[in-house]
Amino acid sequence: MNAIIPLVLDTLSSAALIFFAAVGLTLVFNVLRVLNVAHGSFYSIGAYVAASICAFIVSRHLNPYLSFVALLFSAALVAVVLGPLIESTLIRWTYGKSEAVQILITFGLFLILEDLQRMVFGVQSFYEDTPMRLMGSSSIGGVVYLNYQMFLVAMAVIVVFGLRLLIKHSRLGRLVTAVVADREMAQSIGVDTNKIFIFAFSLGVFLAALGGALAVPTSGVAPGLGADTMVLAFAVAAIGGLGQIEGAALAALIVALARVLAIYFVPSLDAVAPYAAMLIVLLVRPYGLFGAITTRRI
Amino acid sequence: MRAILLIVAILAIVAAPMAAPWLQFVLTMAVAKGLAALGVAVLLRAGMISIGHAMFVAASAYGVAFLARAGIADFGLLLVLSVVITGLAGAVVGAFLIRYRAIFFAMLNLAVSMVFYALFAKLYGVTGGTDGMTIPVPTVFGIVLSEPTFKAVLFYGSVALMVVVGLAVHRYLDSPLGHALSAVHTNEVRLEYLGVPVWAVLLVAYVVSAVLAGLGGAIAGFAIGRVVPDFAFWTASGHLVLVAVLGGIGGVPGAFIGAFFLELLHTEAAAFTDAWNLIVGAALIGVIMFLPKGLYGLLTRSEVSAK
Amino acid sequence: MKFKTALSAFALVGCLGAAMPAFAQDKPASLGLGIFTFTSGPAAAYGMPGKNAADLMIDQINAAGGIGGVKIAPTYVDEAQGAQGVITEYRRLAAEPKNQVMLAALSSANCLALAPIAEQLEVPTVGWNCDTHQLLQDGKSKYVFRPNGNTVPEFVAYAVYLLAKKPDVKTVAIINPDYAFGHDAAKIFKAALHALKPDIQIVAELFPKLGSPNYQTEISRLTTARPDVVFSNLWGADLENFVRQAQPRGLFTSSQVILALGETVLQRVSLPDGVIVGVLGDGWWMSPDAAANPETKKFAEAYKAKFGEYPVFPSIKMANTILYVKAAYESAMKKNGGKWPSRAELAEAMKGSTVTTLTGKSVTRADNDGLVDQIVGVTVKSPTQSFPVIGDMVRYKGDALMPKEGQDPIAWISTLKPEFAASLPKPGSYK
């Protein structure tokens, strides 16, 4: 039994991080039907901004608990600045165009954002672990865990239920659902689809940036984070079924479990495990666990 | 008119390294990337975008490395065998993937390529892990060559190969099989009503694209002298699509125009800016929005107006 | 078309053949130096101190008139761009005659990739940091040198030190980066432990990808294995991340930790006392030998003034490597009457040389590998510095821990006996 506890806790805590990497991607696809290849860049930008703000708080000897606020604030900042700007210039142009065009436009955006990050934040690693140290650690089943790791799990659960609440039970959410179901019909009854799209895209950016911000206290941020996050996000989104938020949560658990089991029992395959899990799931269910089969275009 | 232009361009490529020897490596890599991008372009004709084709580039380069380790030393044999292996890999992966369209095709290619990538990177005992494997200087027709001589042979061989393969792919795209490919894009169901087996059309295209990527990978491997897992990383696949689209998927020369343009520009740009990705990303978006036929489209358009 | 291609190929081959021989030349306007290091990404935490030291050392040499009156003009290449880009840049730099020497590279992977090219292009190439023993193992290198020595003495030293310090160690866990350096080090460290104390068990062996930001699951795995000792040769930002994540989770209290490259993070993260650390050589700027050398003190103070921290051992390795190149130029010029040497003459001068560095001596063997002493110790609080320093030190002689030229290193290690370890100096003997 004792051997199981660390497996479970490690799986949960890495699943939380993995879930945050993917949930924004899948949400944006759900509403806009655009696979945003630049998603990983929003994640790393969120991480850079959070690290910078936290470092500022520490250097000015402000109340260190402000750093928790900073994590949320930086994600919101990134979403408000970049979300509407990018949606209304680049992403909107791709609606109704082929997937190839959408992927290429966002890939171009990815390349631009990667270089912009290097110009703004430099090429060194950033690290700011104040929030992690503030929360301390606890010994569970003979292994010491950071309370921050458990905080991440709680945050992930909050996001899953929060998004559910937002989409299923709020007016805004119902409008989004209406647009997803039938864009033209929604338009014809007076829904401002442009606003819905801006909101949905910005929410996706927010979730990505939040994921990056929340990862900073334990993992730091360095160039290349965006590209690595992107593939992980793809894997999780694909396993869960593109556009399925609960699917992404389950997929994050599967990917995390695969990786944790690999590290415990076949460490030489740790990096292969997530992708192997993805391949196996997709071989059995090509459209993902929760994904619906779409018909071929006629 | 266009044919003359292309011949002049090829002669210029052949002559360039005599004026600037360091260009030889850059141009060899441009041919390699052009071949791989041509593979991606073939699939794009059917509206299918693969962000995983770098796996075939890597598979072929690793094929060369493994075969060389197993004692095969002949250039031609290494090239042919590794490309055949890649073609077979393409047939296996393709048989599974061509059932899917659009976003799912793109993502499944990505999924498979990342499995390749992770395996290349993690099997340290077999593949050398992230250090990669050495690709030694092979013999050519039994003759042991010095490194510079081999690189010259490789360069001129690659240019010749580019011409031959380019013509062959041109013929293929102009054949019923090739036209069926574009028809998949416009109206797949009608194609089936006409009795054309779509899966066969796509499988052939997928294998062709894998073989082209494999050719590129083998040449790149020989030119660099080493193969590393990064060959298969998803951004490498993204760049192949980028090269194809930048050049234009309207004709065979597009992929090569894209590759030569990018490689030469990169060499120049590296001297005064490191915002290379920004430039390329912006160029990509610009081309898609304003030049849907790519750089090659500029050429063909001017020809139309000349008529 | 084909005929034409074949013809031009012949013509080109002819040209290249005629251009090959290189002669001693007049002094050039400047000496081009290609310097390969990580200037971006997680590895830059280790690579930038190398670049900083190169900048400073080159400034100092140029201010004193350069090498034989020729100023050094460095070109830096970022190794973070991967093997393909590094090789392309190497070829480009080598094609320019003014670039006579390459200091390449930091990463073992890049050294292994560049070595065959260096031999083919006949460019003297000095590995300033990479230490995989695979690099010069065949003994045939003419142009590749490594004054800093290799993984074998570096990691045998840790095994010897550990057993001297904690003779009753039973279980060991390893976490190293997943490439040549990490795997080589694990192999050597394990072989040395097994030879010197056969009942030692390896209870976990992890090889996370180089550049991984998150080690939480690995730390859980290490903790559950309950090893007496955790050994790691993680480096750069990876090492900083690992320490920051492992320390609050109690790994440093539950096990004796060995951080082979721990000295590089002393000034950046707060390591507890008693962690076994070292410098993979003798490049500790506060060692007794270094403290006795006024040049070294001057360098360290100038470094601190310019970059805000003291030179960590990658800085010292880089500085020593530049001194090594300078010494080779001076001896080559002495030999041919003050004329500027060709690339081949320079390589010739490096062969078998003995060079006094900032922190000791570097002796180049017949296989072009360097012999340098190995300093190992544990972290202790410092009376003079705000960060922990290395105490309870030992300095093993370079040739004592190195197999002979051409000998298989793992086979050599397995012949070591406990008596061999007993014959070496003890922890605390170097002060």
Could you give the ipTM of this predicted complex? 0.88
- pLDDT tens, residue by residue, C106-151: 988 889 889 988 988 899 999 999 888 888 888 888 999 999 888 9
**What does the alpha-carbon distance between residue C56 and residue C425 come to, in Å, rounded to a whole number?**
35
Closest-CA residue of C relative to B123 is C178
Q: What is the rounded average pLDDT for all residues in chain B?
A: 85
For residues C306 and C52, the answer to whether their CB atoms sit within 8 Å is yes
Contact between A14 and C224 using a beta-carbon 8 Å cutoff: no
Q: What is the model's pLDDT at position B1?
A: 64
Q: What is the CATH number of the domain that holds B82?
A: 1.10.3470
The reported pLDDT for the residue numbered B271 is 65
What is the chain A residue with the closest CA to B275?
Answer: A115
Q: What is the pLDDT of residue C21?
A: 38
Over the stretch B84-128, which tens digit does the pLDDT of each residue have?
Answer: 999 999 999 998 888 877 778 888 888 889 889 999 988 888 888
pLDDT band at C1 (very low <50, low <70, confident <90, very high): very low
Query: How much is the pLDDT for C12?
Result: 41
**Architecture in CATH of C152-280+373-423:** 3-Layer(aba) Sandwich (3.40)
Contacts of B163 in chain C (CB under 8 A): 1
Q: Mean pLDDT over residues A115-137, rounded? A: 84
> In sequence order, what are the beta bridge partners of C36?
C77
| Domain map (residue ranges) of chain A | 22-227
**Residue C101 pLDDT greater than 90, yes or no:** yes
Residue that is written with structure tokens 């690579």 in the block: C47
In the stretch 79-138 of chain C, residues with CB closer than 8 A to chain B read 82-84, 87-88, 91-92, 95, 108-109, 112-113, 116-117, 120-121
Contact A144, C245 (CB under 8 A): no
User: Which of A45, A37, A39 minimizes the C-alpha distance to A107?
Assistant: A37
> How distant is the Cα of A58 from the closest Cα of chain C, in angstroms?
16
Q: Is the bond preceding residue C22 a cis peptide, omega within 30 degrees?
A: no
| Residue of C361, C413, C424 lying closest to C155 (CA atoms) | C413
The residues near B184 (Cβ < 8 Å, ≥ 6 apart) are B46, B47, B48, B191, B198, B201, B202
Which of C414, C431, C428 is closest to C159 using CA atoms? C414
Please answer yes or no on whether C237 and A263 come within 8 Å at the CB atom: no
Tell me the nearest-neighbour CA distance from C111 into chain B, angstroms.
10
pLDDT in tens, C340-363: 999 999 999 999 899 999 999 999
CATH code for C28-148+292-364? 3.40.50.2300
**Burial state string for A214-247 with b = 16 or more CB within 10 A and e = fewer than 16:** bbbbbbbbbbbbbbbbbbbbbbbbbbbbbbbbeb
**Cβ(A272)–Cβ(B118) under 8 Å?**
yes
Scanning the structure block, which residue is given the tokens 């080589």? C184
Query: How many folded domains does chain B comprise?
Result: 1
Confidence band for C52, pLDDT divided at 50, 70 and 90: very high
Instruction: For residue C404, name the pLDDT band (cuts at 50, 70, 90).
Output: confident
d(CA B124, CA B138) in angstroms, rounded, equals 24
Question: What's the pLDDT score for residue B305?
Answer: 42
Cβ-contact A246, A153 below 8 angstroms? no
Give me chain C's average pLDDT, please: 88
Q: What percent of chain B has pLDDT over 70?
A: 95
Please tell me the number of Cα atoms within 13 Å of C173 on its side-chain side. Answer: 25
What is the rounded CA–CA span in Å between residue B13 and residue C295?
Answer: 53
Residue A283 pLDDT > 60: yes
The pLDDT score that the predictor gives to residue A298 is 31
CB A103 to CB B119 under 8 A?
no
How many contacts does B have with C, using Cβ atoms within 8 A?
95
Q: Average pLDDT, stretch B153-172?
A: 90
- Determine the Cα–Cα distance for residues B210 and B94; give it in Å rounded to an integer: 9
Distance CA A94, CA A104 (A): 10
CB contact under 8 A, A144 and C221: no
Give the model's confidence band at B301: pLDDT under 50 very low, under 70 low, under 90 confident, else very high. Answer: low
pLDDT for residue C7 is more than 70: no
> Residue A292: what pLDDT?
66
Residue type, C260: A
Give the mean pLDDT of B180-192: 78
Check if C425 contacts A (Cβ < 8 Å). Answer: no
Domain with CATH 3.40.50.2300 in chain C: 28-148+292-364, 152-280+373-423
Task: Please give the residue range of the domain that contains residue B234.
Answer: 2-306
Say whether pLDDT at A2 is over 70: no
Strands of C51-184 (E only): list them: 71-78, 99-103, 125-126, 144-145, 171-175
Which of C388 and A127 is assigned the larger pLDDT?
Answer: C388
Residue C249 CA to residue C233 CA, distance in Å, equals 19
How far is the C-alpha of A14 from the C-alpha of A257, rounded, in Å? 9
pLDDT band at C173 (very low <50, low <70, confident <90, very high): very high
* Stretch among A53-57, A240-244, B39-43, C188-192 having the lowest mean pLDDT: A240-244
DSSP alpha helix (H) spans, chain B: 2-19, 23-45, 54-69, 75-97, 102-122, 124-127, 147-174, 176-186, 188-193, 198-224, 234-247, 252-269, 276-290, 294-306
A30, A51, A267, B231, C184 from B125: Cα distances, Å: 42, 38, 14, 19, 11
| Mean pLDDT across B273-293 | 82
The DSSP bridge partners found for residue A144 are A139
pLDDT of C25: 60
Nearest residue to A105 (alpha-carbon basis) of B119, B283, B97: B283
Whether residue C287 lies within 8 A of chain A, CB to CB, comes out as no
Rounded to 5 degrees, what angle do the CA atoms A146, A152, A156 make?
Answer: 160
C-alpha torsion sign, points B36, B42, B47, B53: negative
Q: In the structure encoding, which two tokens stand for residue B270, read together?
A: 């590296």
> What is the CA A276 to chain-centroid distance, rounded?
21
Q: Three-state SS across C94-118?
A: HHCCCEEEEECCCCHHHHHHHHHHH
Sorted by sequence, the CB contacts under 8 Å of residue C96 that are 6+ apart come out as C32
CA distance A218 to A147: 11
Flag whether residue B126 sits within 8 Å of chain A, measured between CB atoms: no
Distance from C-alpha of C95 to C-alpha of C195, rounded to nearest angstrom: 47
Q: With CA atoms as reference, report the closest residue to B219 among B132, B303, B138.
A: B138
Smallest CA–CA distance from B96 into chain A, residue: A283
